[in-house]
């Protein structure tokens, strides 16, 4: 044999020698070993002890006392509306927040801890890590939310005071500044991890003190529905309540992510945890350190993902890009060439619209590349400043007042399973009734939604709707795109067309 494979299991190693018919056994020389000299063989570290010894002193416990308890609600994920939060309630369990009923963190038996002259108080607890010797600490926004100060418990057990420098709810990151100097600190990794790389999660799960768990990078670029900037690293290292804000390290002891969320039906670790990538963290923390806030670029459009049906309706070769469903009046997009039904495929030659725009400072001019009517075109657009918590143009739906209706009301599209009537003032057609078993209901169309255009044609009468559907069918399309305005803003829906 040109190579020899060793596998350690429960303190013994079995080595098979082929040729002489001999099967020999020898003691394991080190736990957790898998190595081979053949090309492409798997290798693993004998121990993580050296890395842990180096990085563990820089990881801290973050404790925040709140005058009125702010129970962590995993439904309150940044950038989500009520419906999305309802979905996430069934999917996510946020962790590392409240220990209000724990005698170590506020006293037993009281929902918010013991009562006193100042009323209730609660304790929020998580993890964090030093990124500089002068005391700057990275943690999660949800760990320190609503607080201005925090107690930092060092690995040695010493407690120091810290102030909240700034927070960014959109990425769930926060920056603290501890009192003192000469703190041990860690550095961010210069490159992104690969799927399959070893990782270490260090933190303070369940308030037990500094704890280390190991695993691998399971996936990258995860979108868990927490906001427009989702780009999480998925790891299988055990992460539990209290690990929030703690670092994930690579095998060299460099930070590759900040632990922020887990998937767990039970609330405990099931091997699926999510970390904010170091690339995102470095950008956000630098902004917080400079000015205490994060300013993001904004173009003022409402976008949606492109499904295969929508791609067919737009005559796109494949379902890629960001579909512009609406343009907000007075926004940078409204002053540009951008319009609904455009498909943005790149920003300055790079994909990932939301994250690219957010990473650029307001006032910067970028070059958008879009597909319109099957042809690609590019034009400049100067970014504005993201206003408040508004991540995209949200135009509230409007149910047309009955006084504006005309007698032209009919189940104009029985095959689509909905009835429409003019919304008045040339504002499209309002959906008056939806067949619960029809295609329209299956695609989320509801009474009160306003149809703005069908297959690229503006509609203001029943005749307009029928002509647009007939033209789409004659064009050989299997589905027609309908642009709707509802309470959630504007969106496109692809409705299948019956050839007859």
Q: Judge contact between 263 and 270, C-beta under 8 A.
A: yes
What kind of fold does domain 48-294 have according to CATH? Thrombin, subunit H (2.40.10)
pLDDT band at 43, cuts 50/70/90? low
Structure tokens at 5: 């494979």
Average pLDDT, stretch 47-72? 81
Residue 371 contacts residue 316 (beta carbons within 8 Å): yes
Nearest of 350, 298, 303, 297 to residue 322 by alpha carbon: 303
How many C-beta atoms surround the C-beta of residue 436 within 10 A? Answer: 8
Q: Which residues contact 229 (CB under 8 A, 6 or more apart)?
A: 79, 170, 171, 280, 354, 355, 358
Q: Are residues 226 and 89 in contact, defined by beta-carbon separation less than 8 angstroms?
A: no
Q: For residue 68, what pLDDT is reported?
A: 52
Top pLDDT among 395 and 65 is at 65
Distance, CA of 288 to CA of 144 (rounded, Å): 15
- Return the pLDDT at 374: 83
Can you read off the two tokens belonging to residue 58? 């820089």
**Residue % of the chain over a pLDDT of 70:** 72
Verify whether residue 197 is a known catalytic residue: no
Residue 254 scores a pLDDT above 90: yes
Catalytic residue (one of 142, 218, 331, 453): 142
Choose the catalytic residue: 218, 244, 341, 354: 244
- Choosing from 61, 168, 172, 226, which is the catalytic residue? 172
Assess contact for 340 and 360: CB atoms under 8 A: no
For the chain, the average pLDDT equals 76
46-55, 79-88, 98-107, 417-426 — which is least confidently predicted? 98-107
Long-range contacts of 82-91 (CB under 8 A, 24+ apart): 83/488, 84/225, 87/225, 88/224, 88/225, 88/226, 91/224, 91/225, 91/263
* Sequence-distant (≥ 6) Cβ neighbours of residue 219 within 8 angstroms: 195, 233, 234
The mean per-residue pLDDT over the stretch 175-200 comes to 95
**DSSP 8-state symbol, 192:** P
Stretch 408-417: mean pLDDT? 53
pLDDT for residue 36: 45
Give residue 35's pLDDT: 44
Q: How confident is the model at residue 265 (pLDDT cuts 50, 70, 90)?
A: confident
Residue 105 confidence (pLDDT) above 60:
no
What CATH number labels 297-385? 2.30.42.10
Kindly report, residue by residue over 290-342, the tens digit of the pLDDT.
Answer: 988 888 888 999 888 888 888 888 888 888 888 998 898 889 999 999 998 89
Pick the CATH number of 402-496 from 3.20.20.140, 3.90.950.20, 1.10.3720.10, 2.30.42.10: 2.30.42.10
pLDDT at 415 over 80: no
Full-prediction pTM beyond 0.75? no
Strand-pairing partners, residue 480, are 495
CA distance 177 to 184: 14
Residue 80 has pLDDT above 50, yes or no: no
**pLDDT of 151-162, one tens digit each?**
999 999 999 999
> Nearest Cα to 495, choosing from 444, 428, 420?
444
CA 165 → CA 89, 136, 159, 229, 264, distances in Å?
A: 30, 9, 19, 22, 31
Residue-wise pLDDT for 225-245, tens only, equals: 776 677 899 999 999 888 999
Six-digit token string for 158:
């010493």
Fold agreement (297-385, 402-496): yes
Does the annotation mark 335 as catalytic? no
- Higher per-residue confidence, 446 vs 256: 256
Query: Which has more pLDDT, 394 or 129?
Result: 129
Q: Is residue 172 flagged as an active site residue?
A: yes
Contact predicate 237/214, CB 8 Å: yes
What does the buried/exposed string (b/e) look like for 38-62 if buried means 16 or more CB atoms within 10 Å of the residue's CB?
eeeeeeeeeebeebbeebbbbbbbb
Rounded to whole angstroms, how far apart are CA atoms 115 and 350?
55
Instruction: Let me know: does 396 contact 372? Beta carbons within 8 Å.
Output: no
Going from N- to C-terminal start, the domains of the chain cover 6-47, 48-294, 297-385, 402-496
């Amino acid at each position: 044999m040109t190579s020899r494979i060793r596998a350690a299991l429960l303190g013994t190693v079995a080595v098979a020698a082929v040729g002489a018919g001999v099967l020999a056994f020898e003691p394991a020389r080190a736990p957790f070993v898998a190595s081979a000299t053949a090309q492409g063989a798997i290798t693993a570290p004998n121990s993580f002890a050296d890395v842990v010894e180096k990085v563990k002193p820089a990881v801290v416990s973050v404790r925040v006392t709140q005058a009125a308890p702010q129970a962590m609600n995993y439904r309150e994920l940044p950038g989500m509306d009520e419906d999305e939060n309802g979905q996430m309630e069934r999917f996510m369990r946020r962790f590392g927040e409240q220990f209000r009923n724990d005698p170590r963190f506020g006293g037993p038996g009281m929902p918010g801890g013991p009562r006193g002259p100042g009323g209730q108080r609660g304790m929020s607890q998580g993890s964090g890590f030093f990124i500089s010797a002068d005391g700057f600490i990275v943690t999660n926004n949800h760990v320190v939310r609503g607080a201005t100060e925090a107690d930092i418990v060092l690995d040695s057990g010493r407690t120091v005071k810290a102030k909240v420098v700034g927070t960014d709810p959109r990425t769930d990151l926060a920056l603290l500044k501890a009192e003192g100097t000469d703190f041990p600190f860690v550095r961010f990794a210069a490159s992104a991890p690969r799927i399959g790389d070893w990782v270490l999660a260090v933190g303070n799960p369940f308030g037990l003190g500094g704890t280390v768990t190991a695993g691998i990078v399971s996936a990258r670029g995860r979108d868990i529905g927490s906001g427009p900037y989702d780009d999480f690293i998925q790891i299988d290292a055990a992460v539990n309540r209290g690990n929030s804000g703690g670092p994930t390290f690579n095998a060299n002891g460099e930070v590759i992510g900040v632990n922020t969320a887990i998937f767990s039906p039970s609330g405990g670790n099931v091997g699926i945890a999510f970390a904010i990538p170091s690339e995102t963290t470095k950008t956000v923390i630098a902004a917080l350190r400079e000015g205490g806030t994060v300013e993001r670029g904004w173009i003022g459009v409402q976008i949606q993902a492109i499904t295969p049906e929508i791609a067919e309706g737009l005559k796109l070769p494949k379902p890629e890009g960001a579909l512009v469903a609406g343009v907000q009046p007075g926004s940078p997009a409204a002053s540009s060439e951008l319009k609904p039904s455009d498909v943005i495929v790149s920003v300055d030659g790079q994909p990932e619209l939301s994250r690219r725009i957010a990473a650029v400072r307001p006032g910067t001019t970028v070059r958008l590349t879009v597909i319109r009517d099957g042809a690609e075109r590019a034009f400049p657009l100067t970014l504005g400043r993201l206003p408040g918590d508004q991540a995209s143009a949200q135009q509230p739906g409007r149910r047309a007042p009955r006084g504006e209706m005309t007698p032209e009301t009919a189940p104009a599209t029985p095959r689509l399973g909905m009835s429409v009537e003019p919304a008045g003032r040339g504002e499209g057609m309002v959906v008056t009734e939806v067949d619960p078993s029809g295609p329209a209901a299956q695609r989320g169309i509801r009474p009160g939604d306003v149809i703005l255009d069908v297959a690229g044609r503006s509609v203001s009468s029943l005749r307009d709707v029928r002509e647009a559907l007939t033209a789409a069918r004659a064009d050989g399309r299997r589905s027609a795109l309908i642009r709707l305005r509802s309470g959630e803003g504007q969106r496109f829906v692809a409705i299948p067309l019956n050839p007859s």
